Amino acid sequence: MEGKSNPIKEKQVKELINEIKKAKTLMIVSIKGLPSKQFQSAKKSIREYASVKVAKKNIMNRSIKGIGKESILALDKYINENCAFVISDLDGYELAGILNKKRTPIAAKAGQLAPIDIEVKEGPTELVAGPAISELGALGIQIAVENGKISIKKNKVVVKEGVEIKDNVASILQKLHIQPFTVGLEPVAIYDIESEKIYDNIKINPEETINELRNAAAKSLGFAQKIGYYCRETIGYFLAKANLEGETLNKLIKTE
């Protein structure tokens, strides 16, 4: 005797299938370790761009199969109990960029590895003189007491990138309201519904990308000048060079 289907689950599957079919992008995101408060905040922050759907693994897998495209079935390897669907009419990488911008800063915990060099900046704090003086001093942080409150006198890196954060460091960072970590919806895989292509290993870092483009542009400009390639960016250089060489030739002619 075959088991009866669950109408609630069937409705969930049907709704997901219909929404995915109407969209441009289906993204699988990881929500592992994301606190409920931050998850709700992330979900709310992108609702004008996309909808976030959380369902059980079998519901998500059934929805994928129900789309009716062979190309989408490969997404099943990215689906687990700690993921969600993000469905949108935006391009996948544009959506990933938005998710990156919507990340929320959080405090550090002991045992975590520093994502960057964590630095305590100079300036006044809200810490009153007391036990915090010795706690800061133990980390080599130069301080002074001004009007009953502690002031940091000099910038100090308290944890290098990739180094484990100790209990005392985590405590001080929290007291100083320094939040070196960020959390949010982590893109795992993108399925472009129109082109039927899957993209994974998604890394969005606008600042790093801009710096790389600037460095590449600077190197390409020098190379273009060296090989004598004329374009809008190099013509000024060649005209100035020609003018200088012309003046040098005139001087040589006059001396003969």
Whether residue 88 is predicted with pLDDT greater than 60 in this model: the reply is yes
- List the one residue out of 120, 178, 177 whose CA is nearest residue 151: 120
Place of tokens 């550090």: 108
Question: In degrees, to the nearest 5, what angle opens at C-alpha 47 toward C-alphas 56 and 115?
Answer: 75
Encoded tokens for 98: 């938005």
Radius of gyration of the chain (CA): 28
What pLDDT sits at residue 207? 61
Q: What is the mean pLDDT of residues 142-152?
A: 91
Domain boundaries, the chain: 7-103+184-204, 118-180, 211-255
Reduced to 3 states, what is the DSSP secondary structure of residue 182?
A: strand
| Residue range 106-142, pLDDT digits in tens | 999 999 999 889 999 999 999 998 899 999 999 999 9
Say if CB 100 and CB 204 are below 8 A apart.
Answer: yes
The H helix count followed by the E strand count for the chain is 8, 12
Say if CB 49 and CB 98 are below 8 A apart.
Answer: yes
Tell me how far apart the 2 most distant CA atoms of the chain are, in Å. 111
Q: Please, which contacts does 68-77 make with residues 24 or more away whose CB atoms are closer than 8 Å?
A: 69/196, 71/191, 71/196, 71/197, 71/198, 72/26, 72/191, 72/196, 72/198, 74/198, 75/26, 75/28, 75/189, 75/191, 75/198
What pLDDT sits at residue 20? 95
Q: What is the mean pLDDT of residues 167-193?
A: 93
What pLDDT sits at residue 222? 78
**Reported confidence tier of residue 240, pLDDT bands at 50, 70, 90:** confident
Whether residue 24 is predicted with pLDDT greater than 60 in this model: the reply is yes
**Reported confidence tier of residue 169, pLDDT bands at 50, 70, 90:** very high
Q: What is the mean pLDDT of residues 187-196?
A: 94
**Reported confidence tier of residue 166, pLDDT bands at 50, 70, 90:** very high
Tell me the torsion sign for CA atoms 98, 99, 102, 105: negative
| Residue range 217-235, pLDDT digits in tens | 777 877 777 787 878 878 8
Reduced to 3 states, what is the DSSP secondary structure of residue 91?
A: coil
What pLDDT sits at residue 233? 79
Architecture of domain 7-103+184-204: 2-Layer Sandwich (3.30)
Q: pTM for the full model?
A: 0.69
Domain 118-180, classified CATH 2.40.50.140, yes or no = no
Residue 161's Cβ-side half-sphere holds a number of Cα atoms within 13 Å equal to 3
Say if CB 156 and CB 142 are below 8 A apart.
Answer: yes
| Residue range 98-107, pLDDT digits in tens | 999 899 899 9
